[in-house]
C-alpha cells in the first residue's frame, strides 16, 4: 500500500530551468493538493484539484502550473524556476476536503534553485 | 482573504510540562483537523473535530473546537520527548470549502 508517492525526492535546478513534480496516489481519492513549506511559513497551498480534469488556484499559485489528467496523478510544473521557489513541496490527497476524512501526505520533494 | 492562524510559533518546554497550541480562523469552519510533523518528516493526521464545542482526547492529547467553530486548541499533558515536532491545524476554506488551509504551525521542543 504505497499511499501518496512523490517523485523526485530531491532536485537542484538552475534559475530559468523547468521541471515537473509528480504526485501519485493509489487510494482513489478525489481531492489532491500541492503545498510548499518554507521555514517559519507553515504549509501554503499552491494549487488543488477536486477531481480528474479540474484544477484551482490556492494561496500562492504564481509561478506554478498543475494538471490532473488522471485521477491518481497530480503534476506540479515550474516553467522557469526562480530562487524564491526553493522549498520543500508536499503533495496530499483526500476523499473530500474536510468531510470526515483526512489528508494523506507524500514524503516531500526538496527543491533547490540556484 | 480567509486565513487560519496559530500561536505560538515556537514553544520550549521541560519534559513533563504541559503544552497548548491555539488555532484561529477568520471564518466559521465546518470542521478542523490537526496534524503532527516530526522533524524531517511529513504531516500526519491526528484528529478531526466537527461539532461546535467538541472535545476529543487521545491519551495525553486533548483537542477542543470552539463554540463558534472559529477556533480550536490542542493541549498535551506531561510532555514527552516523543512529542517533539510541529503541530498544525487545518480547515476547509474557500467559497466551496475545498481549500484545505493550514495554520503556520507550532513547533514544540522538549528538553529531557
What average pLDDT is seen over chain A? 94
**Per-residue pLDDT at A110:** 97
Tens digits of per-residue pLDDT, A66-83? 999 999 999 999 999 999
**Cβ A91 vs Cβ A45: under 8 Å:** no
How much of chain B exceeds pLDDT 70, in percent?
Answer: 99
**Per-residue pLDDT at A97:** 63
Which long-range contacts link A4-7 to residues 24+ away (Cβ below 8 Å)? A4/A91, A4/A92, A4/A93, A4/A104, A4/A105, A4/A106, A5/A106, A5/A107, A6/A89, A6/A90, A6/A91, A6/A106, A6/A107, A6/A108, A6/A109, A7/A109
Chain B residue with minimum CA distance to A30:
B98
What average pLDDT is seen over chain B? 95
**Cβ A78 vs Cβ A85: under 8 Å:** yes
Q: Which of A42, A50, A108 sits opposite B98 (nearest CB)?
A: A50
Residue B91, chain A, CB below 8 Å: the answer is yes
Rounded Cα distance, B55 and B74, in Å? 10
State the pLDDT confidence band at A99, using cuts at 50, 70 and 90. low
How much of chain A exceeds pLDDT 90, in percent?
Answer: 88
State the pLDDT confidence band at A98, using cuts at 50, 70 and 90. low
State the pLDDT confidence band at B15, using cuts at 50, 70 and 90. very high
Chain A residue with minimum CA distance to B3:
A59
State the pLDDT confidence band at B80, using cuts at 50, 70 and 90. very high
Residue B48, chain A, CB below 8 Å: the answer is yes
Tens digits of per-residue pLDDT, B29-53? 999 999 999 999 999 999 999 999 9
Residue A94, chain B, CB below 8 Å: the answer is yes
Q: Which of A40, A45, A108 sits opposite B42 (nearest CB)?
A: A108
**Per-residue pLDDT at A40:** 73
Q: Which residues in chain B have their CB less than 8 angstroms from residue A50's CB? A: 96, 98
**Per-residue pLDDT at A38:** 94
Residue B78 has pLDDT above 70, yes or no: yes
Rounded to the nearest angstrom, the minimum Cα separation between A17 and chain B is 27
Residue B33, chain A, CB below 8 Å: the answer is yes
Q: Which residues in chain B have their CB less than 8 angstroms from residue A56's CB? A: 98-99
State the pLDDT confidence band at B85, using cuts at 50, 70 and 90. very high
Residue A33 has pLDDT above 90, yes or no: yes
Q: Which residues in chain B have their CB less than 8 angstroms from residue A5's CB? A: none
Residue B40, chain A, CB below 8 Å: the answer is no
Q: Do A102 and B98 touch (CB under 8 A)?
A: no
Residue A56, chain B, CB below 8 Å: the answer is yes
State the pLDDT confidence band at A30, using cuts at 50, 70 and 90. very high
Amino acid at each position: 500500500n504505497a499511499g501518496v508517492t512523490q517523485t523526485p525526492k530531491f532536485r537542484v535546478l538552475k534559475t530559468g530551468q523547468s521541471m515537473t513534480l509528480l504526485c501519485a496516489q493509489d487510494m482513489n481519492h478525489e481531492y489532491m493538493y500541492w503545498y510548499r513549506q518554507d521555514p517559519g511559513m507553515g504549509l501554503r497551498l499552491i494549487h488543488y484539484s477536486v477531481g480528474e480534469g479540474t484544477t484551482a488556484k490556492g494561496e500562492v499559485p504564481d509561478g506554478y502550473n498543475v494538471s490532473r489528467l488522471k485521477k491518481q496523478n497530480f503534476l506540479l510544473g515550474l516553467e522557469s524556476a526562480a530562487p524564491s521557489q526553493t522549498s520543500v513541496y508536499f503533495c496530499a490527497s483526500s476523499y473530500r476536503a474536510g468531510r470526515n476524512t483526512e489528508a494523506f501526505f507524500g514524503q516531500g520533494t526538496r527543491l533547490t534553485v540556484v | 482573504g480567509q486565513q487560519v492562524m496559530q500561536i505560538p510559533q515556537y514553544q520550549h518546554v521541560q519534559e513533563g510540562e504541559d503544552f497548548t497550541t491555539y488555532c484561529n480562523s477568520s471564518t466559521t469552519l465546518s470542521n478542523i483537523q490537526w496534524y503532527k510533523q516530526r522533524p524531517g518528516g511529513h504531516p500526519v493526521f491526528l484528529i478531526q473535530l466537527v461539532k461546535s464545542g467538541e472535545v476529543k482526547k487521545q491519551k495525553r492529547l486533548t483537542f477542543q473546537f470552539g463554540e463558534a467553530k472559529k477556533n480550536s486548541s490542542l493541549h498535551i499533558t506531561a510532555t514527552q520527548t516523543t512529542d517533539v515536532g510541529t503541530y498544525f491545524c487545518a480547515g476547509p476554506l474557500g467559497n466551496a470549502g475545498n481549500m484545505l488551509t493550514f495554520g503556520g504551525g507550532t513547533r514544540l521542543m522538549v528538553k529531557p
